[in-house]
Amino acid sequence: MDDLECPSGFNEPERKAWQFAVQAHGEQRRKYNQEPYVRHLERVAHTVMAYGGTTGMVMAALLHDVLEDTPVTEAELRTFLEEACQNTIVKPAEVLQLVLDLTDQFTKEQAPGYNRKRRKEMERQRIAQTSPRAQTIKLADIIDNTRDIIQHDISFAKVYIPEIVATLEVLRQAEPFKLYLLACYEVQTAVFKLEEDRRARTSPQEQDVPGPEELSNRPAG
């Protein structure tokens, strides 16, 4: 395991959450640049912090993938949070609920028989019902993932970005609203990059072919 140091700026409960995440994710790395997975969690947490997130929200941001991507169980996470939040104003049950809200409930394993499109729609409907705080953390996660995917995997971006465009529609309760606007900006930037890539792969002749509407609007004669 890498010799990692906790970034400055985290308070004591947040540092404990960071350490727990490091241990839980172990040798996991980000797919494209092979950086330790915790770097993604740090960026999400720092975004939440920068937009006024509470200590509990920052802790949940650091822990948002432990139930989905590591062997950690809900019971183990609850025990950790009860210990980490002792003598603080942070309520461990609220942090745990945020992590549960941010954990995909419709994976291939949990929803067999459904294709990806249907699973993502079910997940979108579920997250629409989550708290504004959970939606805020979700936006921070979307921002970091979108930047990463559009830069490193344009092929997967063609699948991922349309899904995220749809997901943004149900995250309007997130606070502050300017974080929602930032997420929209990042996703729209990715949409433009996809269009640029499509045009780059299309021959000039194909680009200049008029569509049916253009042909129907041409004057006769």
Angle at 76 between CA 32 and CA 120, to 5 degrees: 45
CB atoms within 10 A of CB 97: 17
Cα distance between residue 70 and residue 81, in whole Å: 16
Any idea which residues carry the catalytic annotation? Answer: 68-69
- Distance, first Cα to last Cα, the chain: 74
174 touches 139 (CB < 8 A): yes
Cα distance between residue 27 and residue 122, in whole Å: 31
14 touches 48 (CB < 8 A): no
DSSP assignment, residue 34?
A: -
